[in-house]
Amino acid sequence: MIPELGHFALALAVAIGFAQAILPIWGAWRREQRLIAAAPAIAIGQFIALGTAWVCLTWSNVVDDFSVLTVAENGNSLTPLIYKITGTWGNHEGSILLWCLVISICGAAVAVFGGNLPSSLRARVIGVLGATAVGFQLFALLESDPFTRLWPPPEDGRDLNPLLQDPGLAIHPPMLYIGYVGFAVPFAFAIAALLEGRIDAAWGRWVRPWTLAAWCFLTCGIALGSWWAYYELGWGGFWFWDPVENASLMPWLTGTALLHSAIVVEKREALKTWTVLLAIGTFSLSLSGTFLVRSGILNSVHAFANDPARGLFILGLLGLVIGGSLLLFAARAPVLSTSGIFAPVSREGGLVLNNILLCSICAVVITGTMYPLFADLLLGEKLSVGPPFFNSTVFPLALPLFAAMAVGPMLSWKRANLGDAARRLWWVALAAVIVGCVAAYWARLLPTLAFAAAAWLILGATADIVERIKLFRQPLSASLQRLRGLPRGSFGTTLAHAGLGVTIAGIAGMSLASSAIVLLKPGETTHLDGYDWHLVDLHDAAGPNYSARVATIEISEGGVPVVTLAPERRSFPVQQVNTTEAKIHTNLVRDLYAVLGEERDGAAVLRLHVNPLAPWIWLGALVMALGGMISLADRRLRVGAPARRGAVLPAGTEPGLR
Amino acid sequence: MNRRVLLLAPFGAVVLAGAGFMTMLHRAQDGKFDPHGVPSMLIDKHVPPFTLPGDPGFADSDLAGRPILVNFFASWCVPCIEEASALMSLKQAGVPLYGIAYKDKPAATAAFLAEHGNPFARLGHDAPGRVAIDWGVTGVPESYLIDKAGIVRARWIGALTPETIATELQPLLRQFA
């Protein structure tokens, strides 16, 4: 009964989706006030229908209704409750439904929080969101129905892929999807603006918070995915340039560019056409990411149904959404007028440079990911593009980006003086050079440069705040007063830029990691990087739906005990899969990382790593997302507030210098 | 006019990419397009002559007398880790496995085999990757079935799974036994 209810709710959502796609846009075009006014209600109705379908699917998973095909294939009566819930999106059908749910949440959010948008713009945005969503809802209903029944139902389900039975991966897909799909909102704003033929500063101000929110989630999602690869796959790496990872990195790069170019639209009414194209491009890359993963064209570690027929359906949808919006762009973009002009050396110029570099990196990643496919199709050549390509092409582009990141916020709008920025940043540059020299003692060239870049970014971001509150140049109390008066957006920028520095430092630190593969009997000890690793015992343990072999390793440093790690090898009988549970001890400066391998003659193979600064990689991403969220809380982004900006800042601060 | 062309460029690029993907998917459905594999030129031919160092290492002349599975692998290759358990079960089933370590340092290979088990009756080191070129290896892991007469009968790209072993390898082993 419950699955049928869910199925009905999904069908209802498709019907509402068609209404949402047609009525508001038609109404905005014909200036039918009643249709325009109906848009928010339709969007909320859409959300309620999909929410119901989602709850029904989750319920079927939780109560182990094995008469539902997806539950029988991905659930098991012994699976812990948390993984029954997260298993809802741990498969193709469920994840597509999650995708639809998230886009309906976006529509409902625009309906609820968009109260001060012009009503025709809001109607168009909601309509475009509906038009984008309805195709995928139809796909969920027709091609990958999560509520398909199975008769007779099996005794028990086939269990969720054990690799996915992990807290990190449990919340990774929703984060990533909110990020991917969240870019549908700036996309919808871009299309609505093309339909209206008008973009102004207010448009930029509305687009920014939505982009920022999606960006925060995508940042967290990517970081979680990489963290999961680090501790669950047990290979000791954190980024493999796997096509699926690249698929999430590409919209992040263009989304970051969009985030910055929208500032120029908001402040200076320039770069309008480019910003619209970026909004379309970012969402298109998000969609393509979904498509590429599922079509079976690119293979990866991620478990998804590979079905060319489904791939064709999705490709058709993508063609409609991306092709249609780019055609509209070609037809309507000439209408958008640009008013703001600026000198090459200016805040705008810095942001343009940021956009050029980010998009170049994205282009490189696209090339690396797609080239093997097209080389095969067009030239019949087999080749693979691996980490060496990405490492040697992305870094040269990233270095100038890092260099510019500290300088950009120091420049003033319209026309700036590089000499001013140099006077404010000389001590940062000096510190970066010193850090580089110190690092050069241990590290090779690239990590050395990366350490210097990290110092430059972190201190450069700090220098920006120091400069604004005139620290050391006036009494401390006055500086504190200025600090309180700074808009939250400034802190957001500082944190996000510094966060990237922290991540870079982590990545550079990982290059200094040391590891060893040793064969130890219980009672034996080995040495690695100043630590003594003592294997105490090997024993069996039982989990709810798996059995495990556990090694107890006592780690001490110079006779002082540090920690006891218990890495496991788990065997999941239902799926006949073995997983390694690496155990990690971190003190935020280095990770001690242990993996249990095979056993022979009473001895166990252990893989041990000491990874300096590794936790910083994900910590930095968290700081970046935190910066985004603080920026989101800036009252200038709470639409309607900008007029009162003068009242917030104490007299004497430069409101133009954000 | 130029601006118009410029604004149409993204659309054009996407149309071309879409057409490319469409062709790939269509051909994939007909089984004519597999981005992960190429037909091996070696099938039904003699293995190319080679001698590989190792402990004791082996040469093309050693691949005779009984069907042998030759596995190209490397310690730096992640799917090879996945494949290790399948190879170990093959060894236990008595299938002779010869390993060729592709572009790998002997010490790293030894460590890899110590951690994941050594299924190989013989092991050759192809550090320069020269033998792999002669064989037309597209990547690691890759496995070749050589029959009694030293003729290549089948090739698998990517990790062997219990499924491919049961449905593809075992029937061939019986056929060429």
Q: Is B108 on the interface with A (CB under 8 A)?
A: no
The answer to whether B139 contacts A517, with C-beta atoms less than 8 Å apart, is no
- Write the pLDDT tens digit of every residue in A582-594: 889 998 889 999 9
The answer to whether A517 contacts B114, with C-beta atoms less than 8 Å apart, is yes
3-state secondary structure of A626: helix
Give every CB contact of residue B40 below 8 A, 6+ residues apart in sequence: B136, B144, B152, B155
Pick A598's closest partner by Cβ from B8, B17, B115: B115
Q: Is A315 on the interface with B (CB under 8 A)?
A: yes
- Write the pLDDT tens digit of every residue in B70-116: 999 988 777 788 788 889 988 888 889 999 998 888 888 988 898 88
Q: Is A308 on the interface with B (CB under 8 A)?
A: yes
- Write the pLDDT tens digit of every residue in A510-539: 888 888 888 888 999 999 988 999 999 999
Is the distance from CB of A401 to CB of A460 less than 8 angstroms?
A: no
Report pTM. Answer: 0.83
Please tell me what DSSP assigns to residue B45: S
Is the distance from CB of B73 to CB of B158 less than 8 angstroms?
A: no
Residue B93: CATH number of its domain: 3.40.30.10
pLDDT number for residue A235: 66
Give how far A78 is from chain B: nearest CA, Å. Answer: 25
Residues B73 and B102 in one domain: yes
Report which of residues A16 and A93 the model is more confident about.
A16
Give how far B107 is from chain A: nearest CA, Å. Answer: 11
pLDDT number for residue A641: 42
Q: What is the residue range of B24's domain?
A: 1-35
Q: Is B4 on the interface with A (CB under 8 A)?
A: yes
Chain A contacts in chain B segment 45-104 (CB below 8 A): 78, 81, 85
Residues B90 and B171 in one domain: yes
Residues B29 and B76 in one domain: no
pLDDT number for residue A449: 92
Tell how strand B51-52 and strand A525-528 pair up: unpaired
Domain assignment of residue B14, yes or no: yes
C-alpha to C-alpha distance for A513 and A525, rounded to whole angstroms: 20
Chain B residues close to A318, C-beta within 8 Å: 18
The answer to whether A376 contacts B11, with C-beta atoms less than 8 Å apart, is no
Residues B80 and B1 in one domain: no
Domain assignment of residue B41, yes or no: no
- Write the pLDDT tens digit of every residue in B142-167: 899 998 888 888 888 878 888 888 88
Q: Is A324 on the interface with B (CB under 8 A)?
A: no
The answer to whether B115 contacts A578, with C-beta atoms less than 8 Å apart, is no
- Mutation for A interface: B3, B4, B6, B7, most A CBs within 10 A: B7
Q: Is B115 on the interface with A (CB under 8 A)?
A: yes
Write the single-letter amino acid at A173.
P
DSSP A382-411: -----HHHHHHHHHHHHHHHHHHHHHGGGS
Chain B residues close to A273, C-beta within 8 Å: 7
- Write the pLDDT tens digit of every residue in A124-163: 999 999 999 998 999 999 988 999 898 888 888 877 777 7
Residues B12 and B62 in one domain: no
pLDDT number for residue A60: 93
C-alpha to C-alpha distance for A216 and A2, rounded to whole angstroms: 35
pLDDT number for residue A281: 95
Pick B138's closest partner by Cβ from A378, A382, A517: A382
Residues B29 and B66 in one domain: no
Domain assignment of residue B115, yes or no: yes
C-alpha to C-alpha distance for A10 and A4, rounded to whole angstroms: 10
Using pLDDT thresholds of 50, 70 and 90, give the confidence band for residue A470: confident
Residues B27 and B90 in one domain: no
Using pLDDT thresholds of 50, 70 and 90, give the confidence band for residue A296: low
How far is residue B83 from each of residues A19, A421, A439, A594, B118, measured CA to CA in Å? 51, 56, 39, 22, 12
Stretch A349-356: mean pLDDT: 93
Chain A residues close to B109, C-beta within 8 Å: none
The answer to whether B114 contacts A315, with C-beta atoms less than 8 Å apart, is no
Q: Is A322 on the interface with B (CB under 8 A)?
A: yes
The answer to whether A273 contacts B7, with C-beta atoms less than 8 Å apart, is yes
Chain A residues close to B20, C-beta within 8 Å: 373-374, 377-378
C-alpha to C-alpha distance for A256 and A548, rounded to whole angstroms: 43
Residues B56 and B29 in one domain: no
Chain B residues close to A323, C-beta within 8 Å: 11, 14-15, 18
Chain A residues close to B23, C-beta within 8 Å: 377
Domain assignment of residue B97, yes or no: yes
Q: Which two tokens stand for residue A217?
A: 């989630």
Chain A residues close to B8, C-beta within 8 Å: 330
Backbone angles phi, psi at B149, to 5 degrees: -85, 5
Domain assignment of residue B42, yes or no: no
Domain assignment of residue B45, yes or no: no
Tell how strand B97-102 and strand B122-126 pair up: parallel
Q: Is A371 on the interface with B (CB under 8 A)?
A: no
Chain B residues close to A281, C-beta within 8 Å: 10
C-alpha to C-alpha distance for A18 and A41, rounded to whole angstroms: 14
Chain A residues close to B80, C-beta within 8 Å: none
- Write the pLDDT tens digit of every residue in A191-238: 999 998 888 888 888 899 999 999 999 999 999 989 888 887 666 678
How far is residue B23 from each of residues A320, A376, A532, A549, measured CA to CA in Å? 17, 12, 57, 48
pLDDT number for residue A652: 36
pLDDT number for residue B108: 87
Residue B136: how many other CB atoms lie within 10 Å: 17
Stretch A264-279: mean pLDDT: 90
C-alpha to C-alpha distance for B177 and B175, rounded to whole angstroms: 6
pLDDT number for residue B23: 86
Partners of A517 in the β-ladder: A607
Give every CB contact of residue A302 below 8 A, 6+ residues apart in sequence: A242, A244, A293
Q: Is B164 on the interface with A (CB under 8 A)?
A: no
Residues B15 and B61 in one domain: no
- Mutation for B interface: A273, A336, A373, most B CBs within 10 A: A373
Residues B63 and B90 in one domain: yes
pLDDT number for residue A465: 87
Residues B139 and B89 in one domain: yes
Top mean pLDDT of A301-310, A377-386, A555-564, B69-78 is at A555-564
Name which of A517, A497, A500, A532 is nearest A603 in CA terms.
A517
The answer to whether B115 contacts A312, with C-beta atoms less than 8 Å apart, is no
3-state secondary structure of A585: strand
Using pLDDT thresholds of 50, 70 and 90, give the confidence band for residue A640: very low
Backbone angles phi, psi at A412, to 5 degrees: -95, 165
Tell how strand B97-102 and strand B68-73 pair up: parallel
pLDDT number for residue A644: 37
Pick A598's closest partner by Cβ from B78, B111, B116: B116
Count CB pairs under 8 A between chains A and B: 88
Q: Is A317 on the interface with B (CB under 8 A)?
A: no
Residues across chain A: 658
C-alpha to C-alpha distance for B93 and B174, rounded to whole angstroms: 13
The answer to whether A315 contacts B18, with C-beta atoms less than 8 Å apart, is yes
ipTM over 0.90: no
* A370 → chain B, closest CA residue: B17
Number of domains chain B is built from: 2
The answer to whether B25 contacts A607, with C-beta atoms less than 8 Å apart, is no
pLDDT number for residue B38: 55
Give every CB contact of residue A474 below 8 A, 6+ residues apart in sequence: none
**Helix H or strand E encompassing A109:** helix A92-113
Report which of residues A338 and A243 the model is more confident about.
A243
The answer to whether B10 contacts A309, with C-beta atoms less than 8 Å apart, is no
Confidence check: pLDDT of A87 > 80: yes
pLDDT number for residue A499: 96
- Mutation for A interface: B16, B22, B25, most A CBs within 10 A: B25
Domain assignment of residue B72, yes or no: yes
Q: Is A385 on the interface with B (CB under 8 A)?
A: no
Name which of A41, A51, A57 is nearest A13 in CA terms.
A51
Write the single-letter amino acid at A630.
I
Stretch A572-584: mean pLDDT: 81
pLDDT number for residue A236: 67
- Write the pLDDT tens digit of every residue in B13-68: 999 998 988 888 788 777 666 665 555 677 888 888 888 888 778 888 888 888 99
Residues B62 and B133 in one domain: yes
Chain B contacts in chain A segment 29-68 (CB below 8 A): none
The answer to whether B35 contacts A376, with C-beta atoms less than 8 Å apart, is yes
Tell how strand B122-126 and strand A547-557 pair up: unpaired
* B140 → chain A, closest CA residue: A384
Domain assignment of residue B71, yes or no: yes
Q: Is B25 on the interface with A (CB under 8 A)?
A: yes
The answer to whether A308 contacts B15, with C-beta atoms less than 8 Å apart, is no
Residue A184: how many other CB atoms lie within 10 Å: 27
Report which of residues A383 and A352 the model is more confident about.
A352
